[in-house]
Structure 1
Amino acid sequence: MKKSNDVLRKEVMEAINWEPILDSNKIEVSVQDGIVTLAGTVDNYNQKKEAEHTIKDISGVRAIIDDVRVDLSFSVIKSDKEIASAVIKALEQKWVIPNHRLKVTVQDGWVTLDGILHWNFQRKAAENAIRNLEGVRGVMDKIIIEAEINNELEKLIVEKALKRSWILDIGNIKVRVDGKTIFLSGIVSSLLQKEEAEKIAWNTTGVWQVDNKLFVEFD
């Protein structure tokens, strides 16, 4: 049975309220046909990302629009130069990230990451490394993925990888491979499953791009 907007909004608010690092009084929630819009203000960028992550596995959430703003207290406001130095140091401490391939720019607390990496997990690790840094208001990811191994992707390999995930029903997911791009289509039952399928596809050797057209549909 499809959830009403009011029921889904209540569940989203309960999930946010349950998360210790979030203040539900500061986050506004609106729901329309499974699309959840988050607004309001939080104290740091990590809270902004956590609010989004917290509601991804709620049944009925088809998409999330994150309009939450980061309103830093005066005590944690840093200059762009200070933030840039902290970002570079954080990236250097993550051995999985070839940080010499990344360019960091900061403007008004917003960090932009440019460059070329071989794996998507390296791109995710780069953002995770800086999400807790003081003074960061947001991250703009302009990183390009170019696989180090130049080989042809195979549809069967991708499908087998998706089957190994216990949260996915591969029978409802279609895979198409064209050159260095993996195309995903079909139906999943949650936004979390949609992101899980994309994450698995990105782990395929040789992939440069994942086009995720999976549709979230719930009972």
Structure 2
Amino acid sequence: MGSATIMRTDQDIQADVLDELTWEPRVQPHEIGVTVTEGVVTLTGWVDGYAKKWAAERAAHRVPRVRAVANDLAVRLPTSARRTDQEVATAVVRALEWDAFVAVEDLDVTVADGWVTLRGQVEWEYQRRAADRAVRQLTGVRGVSNGIAVRPRTTPPGPEVAAGIRRALERGGLADAVPLSVDVYGDTVVLNGVVRSTTQREEAERVAWSAPGVTEVHNRLVVGTTPAG
């Protein structure tokens, strides 16, 4: 009986993911296969750019009840989009130089067969994500490994930071909608609780990373159904 319920739920999620891919203008849904097992979505097939692979992954994450996404899409660049590693590396450095949030001199860039690896240190998590965002859209990029570490200049006092994160969650409506707990141990934030979608899970993590001095976030939030009040 239980397995039948899971199967129906997985079929619903699969249909919703396929519909979401159809509405995502950056991808061609007929190129992407979707399977779902106990709320975990697997994307298969191939796309002609890393930006499309990322867009498909984000589309799947937007669907409620998706617990995780395994992105097995392969990137096959068309001839017109192929670049040498030197050309890709040059484009990456220029993109980072143009991004006001990223200090390119603090980063190391390596390109191998179109795959970009970023290393170095930044003060805030939004800078780490900005570097990733600046690179993944470039022509010739087949993938990105973001090894940038967050090293803030200040160390946060636990109680004040935890309270600040809770207030930020409340402003965004997350704390009212779902039961969350926020604990701070030194410069590490731990989130626990149940959320309704991966979008809520990611937004709670973004809020936690926005606290001053945070170097690590353990996101233990799970996607599920909250009990009725």
* TM-score with structure 2 setting the length: 0.91
Deviation (angstroms), 1:171: 5.3
Query: Structure 1 vs Structure 2: percent identity of aligned residues?
Result: 38
Deviation (angstroms), 1:83: 0.3
Indicate conservation of the 8 Å contact 2:33/2:43, yes or no.
yes
Question: Could you tell me which residue of structure 1 aligns to residue 41 of structure 2?
Answer: 36
Indicate conservation of the 8 Å contact 2:188/2:218, yes or no.
yes
User: Using the alignment, how far apart are the partners of 1:54 and 1:215 within structure 2?
Assistant: 19
Q: Describe the superposition over 1:1-28 as per-residue Cα deviations: whole angstroms up to 9, x where unpaired.
A: 9752212111111110111121111111
Q: Looking at secondary structure, tell me which structure has more helix per residue.
A: 2
Indicate conservation of the 8 Å contact 1:168/1:197, yes or no.
no
User: Using the alignment, how far apart are the partners of 1:68 and 1:171 within structure 2?
Assistant: 32
Structure 1: gaps (5+ residues): none
Alignment of 1:5-154 (within 5 A): 5-153=10-158, 154=161
Question: Could you tell me which residue of structure 2 aligns to residue 202 of structure 1?
Answer: 209
Aligned length: 219
Q: 2:77 aligns to what SS in structure 1?
A: coil
Deviation (angstroms), 1:149: 2.3
User: Using the alignment, how far apart are the partners of 1:148 and 1:67 within structure 2?
Assistant: 37
- Select the residue among 182, 190, 205 that pairs with 1:183: 190
* TM-score with structure 1 setting the length: 0.95
Question: Could you tell me which residue of structure 1 aligns to residue 219 of structure 2?
Answer: 212
Indicate conservation of the 8 Å contact 2:194/2:225, yes or no.
no
Indicate conservation of the 8 Å contact 2:151/2:215, yes or no.
yes
Deviation (angstroms), 1:167: 4.5
User: Using the alignment, how far apart are the partners of 2:128 and 2:197 within structure 1?
Assistant: 24
- Select the residue among 170, 173, 179 that pairs with 1:166: 173
The RMSD of aligned alpha carbons is: 1.5
Q: Describe the superposition over 1:64-95 as per-residue Cα deviations: whole angstroms up to 9, x where unpaired.
A: 11111111001111111100000000000011
User: Using the alignment, how far apart are the partners of 2:59 and 2:17 within structure 1?
Assistant: 9
Q: After TM superposition, what 4+ stretches of structure 1 lie above 6 angstroms from structure 2? A: none
